[in-house]
Structures are given as C-alpha cells and as structure tokens.
C-alpha cells in the first residue's frame, strides 16, 4: 500500500544539520586531545567485545561483520561476538546499544537507515544519532540494481518509466520496509525521473523477491548478492545497475544512465560506531585496529564475494557521508514522497 503524508514537524534544515555534525566532529577532536588519561593505561580489550548487527544472520552485512569480528578476535586474543538484532530499521538495536557502558566493549553496525534516514522519518526516536554515538569508520558500501520478473512486460528502464508516466501511481515497486535503503533509493530514482509509483513494503527479502519474480510487484532495487539465486534460476532479471560504472563481473548489465534513466546512484553503506563518551584511548585503538583488519586481503575478498566494497574512512568522512545522505533524502520527506512517522 502507498504511504500517505502525515503532518509533522519539518526535518532539520541545513544549518541545523551542520550544527549537529559540528557536535560529532567536536567530539572527535576532544577525543584526540585527551590522550594520556588514566583510561589509556588500561589494557583494551581484556574481555569479549560485542558487535550489535541490526540484520538477520547470513545476510550481507552480517557476513561482513562476522569477517571483521573473526580477524579482530585473532588480533586481540579475545572473543568478538556478533549479536544479531534485526527489525525496525535498526531502531530497537540502536536504542539498546546507547544504554550500554561507554567502554568500547559494545560496538554497533550502523547503516544508511539508522544514521541518515531514521532521523528524517521519525518525529521521535529512542536514540540521537549524534549525541549517543561516536563515529569509528565506514565499513562498506553496496550497489543496488533494478530487478524485474523474467516474464515482466517492463523489460527495460525505458519501458518501466514510460509505464509510470502513462499511469502515475500504478507501477509498483517492492522494498524491505518504510525507510529502508531500498525504499529511499527507489524514491530517489522516481523523483529524478519525475514519476510516482506504488510502494509495496515487505518484511524480508525472500518474500519481496518472490513477489517480483511472479509478477505480483513490478520491480525492486537490491544488491546482486541478495538476488543472485533467483537470477541464476532465470526468475529475476536485472535491467540496470545504479552506479556510475557497470559491474566488472556483469558488464552486460547497463547503468541506469546507459539504460535511458536518470543518472542516479544507489549505494547503501554501513559503518561501525561506538557509544558516546567512550574513553579516547579506546576509540583510538578501535579505529587503528579496525582499519588494519579492513586492509586484509581475505576480508576484502569475502566482502567482494558478497557484493560489497570495503570502504574504510576517517570519523570525519563518515560524518560527512551522513550529512550528504540527509541532504539527499530530505526532499523525499519534504515533498511527501515518503511519509514521516
């Protein structure tokens, strides 16, 4: 069913977003200036570390998290546990993480939804993505493709957009829920093409892809690793990759621009963050050790095989990524394409 617009307070304006980012970057600067505090003398870690992942076991982000956890455990000589808490676009998981001690022993795999979309969509949240966390690093980004059923009449991007223009609100698309990366990505595509489509949310990827494959929903956007099984069996067909360049492993799949659509990129991402007020020496070690793990060939290879690109970053670059996505997605809410909750 389509989302209807609800009256609510407007999303933060540009100046407000910059002030919020200044809080994050100020925290990073304070952390850098407090070396030599008593916490620096403590050996970290001296017990198990937990990474909370707001995804189910076995999906792409979970695979990456487990790969990183495995190598950190070897490096530290301590267990690094992955704690899966899927659902509600990460709201439940993040709300729990913010209540844990600020000691570096609980990390959170945050993503586009938890850090950039949820603050725009929700009038109230059980967490503040600026005040409750400290950025560590970007982890990876994915690339979405547009998918249709093998027997779909909408066999190209041009056909899909033509149909959407002839009958506004009739062409349907599937997402993994209100505010999910797939939802905001497709609405960004629709806005760029100046069309309106029918949003059909699903709770899990299997049901969503099956609905597209059998023609109950016209199309969706998701990473190639998630749809590879149905693509291999001939039930789903990719019609475009939402990136500047074609995928090296699938050079025959055109970019959106090559296929006659708008030059829209769909790159959902994930990052690691710690609880606010974690001791600066611990943050420094976490950033250093995670960066070393992300540079390992086997970690990068495992990510690539799951359809992801490892993208380590500085805390400032992560904060800038969040701000860029807020600016990108804010018009979707402001114009009523996606309803606030």
pTM: 0.79
**pLDDT (average), residues 26-51:** 61
Top pLDDT among 230 and 8 is at 230
Split at pLDDT 50, 70, 90, the class of 124 is confident
Residue 200 has pLDDT above 80, yes or no: yes
| pLDDT score of 11 | 44
Mean pLDDT, range 138-147, rounded to an integer:
95
User: Exposed, middle or buried, 240 (CB in 10 Å: 0-12/13-18/19+)?
Assistant: buried
Selected residue with higher pLDDT from 306 and 252: 252
CATH topology of domain 14-142+269-334: D-Maltodextrin-Binding Protein; domain 2 (3.40.190)
Q: What pLDDT score was predicted for residue 36?
A: 39
- CA dist 142 and 227 (Å) reads 13
- Alpha carbon separation from 178 to 114, 270, 330 (Å, rounded): 13, 18, 15
Q: What is the DSSP string of 185-247?
A: HHHHHHHHHT---EEEE-SSHHHHHHHHHTTSSSEEEEEHHHHHHHHHTTSEEEEEESSSS-B
Q: Are 14-142+269-334 and 144-241 the same fold in CATH?
A: yes
Judged against a pLDDT cut of 50, whether residue 127 lies above it is answered with: yes
Angle (nearest 5°) at CA 61 between 55 and 63: 105
pLDDT reported for residue 41? 39
* Diameter of the chain measured on Cα atoms: 67
Domain boundaries, the chain: 14-142+269-334, 144-241
Select from 3.40.50.720, 3.40.50.300, 3.30.70.1560, 3.40.190.10 the CATH code of 144-241. 3.40.190.10
Lookup: tokens for 232:
């291999």
- Segment 49-84, tens digit of pLDDT: 999 998 888 878 888 999 999 999 999 999 999 999
Q: What is the pLDDT of residues 320-341, one digit of tens each?
A: 999 999 999 999 999 999 998 8
Reply yes or no on whether the pLDDT at 22 is more than 90: no
Query: Which tens digits make up the pLDDT trace of 203-261?
Result: 888 899 999 999 999 999 999 888 989 999 999 999 999 999 999 889 999 999 999 99
Q: In what order do the strands lie in the sheet with 106-111?
A: 80-84, 49-53, 106-111, 269-275, 133-142, 308-310
With a pLDDT cut of 70, the percent of the chain lying above it is 88
Under the banding of pLDDT at 50, 70 and 90, the label for residue 272 is: very high
Q: Which of 82 and 19 is assigned the larger pLDDT? A: 82
The pLDDT tens digits for 282-294 are: 999 999 999 999 9
Per-residue model confidence (pLDDT) at position 302: 86
Question: In whole numbers, what is the pLDDT of the chain averaged over residues?
Answer: 87
- What does the pLDDT read at residue 311? 94
């Amino acid at each position: 069913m389509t989302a209807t617009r609800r009256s609510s307070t407007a999303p933060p304006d540009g100046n407000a977003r910059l002030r919020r980012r200044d809080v994050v970057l100020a925290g990073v600067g304070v952390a850098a200036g407090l070396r030599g505090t008593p916490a620096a003398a403590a050996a970290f870690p001296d017990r198990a570390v937990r990474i909370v992942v707001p995804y189910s076991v076995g999906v792409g982000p979970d695979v990456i998290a487990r790969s990183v956890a495995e190598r950190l455990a070897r490096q530290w000589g301590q267990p690094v546990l992955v704690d899966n808490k899927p659902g509600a676009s990460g709201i439940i998981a993040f709300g729990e993480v913010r209540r844990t001690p600020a000691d570096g022993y609980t990390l959170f795999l945050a993503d586009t939804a938890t850090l950039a979309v949820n603050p725009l969509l929700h009038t109230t949240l059980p967490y503040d993505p600026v005040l409750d966390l400290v950025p560590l690093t970007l982890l990876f980004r994915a690339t979405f493709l547009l998918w249709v059923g093998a027997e779909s009449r909408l066999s190209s991007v041009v056909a899909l957009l033509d149909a959407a223009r002839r009958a506004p609100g009739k062409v349907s698309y599937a997402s993994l829920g209100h505010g999910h990366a797939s939802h905001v990505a497709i609405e960004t595509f629709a806005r760029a093409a100046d069309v309106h489509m029918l949003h059909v949310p699903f709770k899990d990827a299997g049901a969503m892809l099956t609905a597209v494959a059998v023609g109950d929903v016209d199309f969706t956007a998701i990473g190639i690793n998630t749809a590879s099984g149905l693509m291999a069996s001939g039930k789903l067909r990719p019609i475009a990759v939402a990136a500047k360049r074609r995928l090296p492993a699938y050079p025959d799949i055109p970019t959106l621009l090559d296929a006659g659509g708008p030059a829209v990129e769909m790159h959902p991402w994930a990052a690691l963050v710690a609880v606010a007020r974690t001791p600066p020496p611990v943050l420094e070690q976490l950033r250093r050790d995670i960066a070393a793990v992300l540079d390992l060939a086997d970690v990068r290879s495992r990510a690539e095989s799951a359809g992801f690109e490892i993208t380590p970053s500085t805390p400032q670059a992560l904060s800038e990524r969040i701000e860029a996505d807020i600016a990108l997605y804010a018009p979707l809410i402001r114009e009523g394409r996606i309803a606030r909750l």
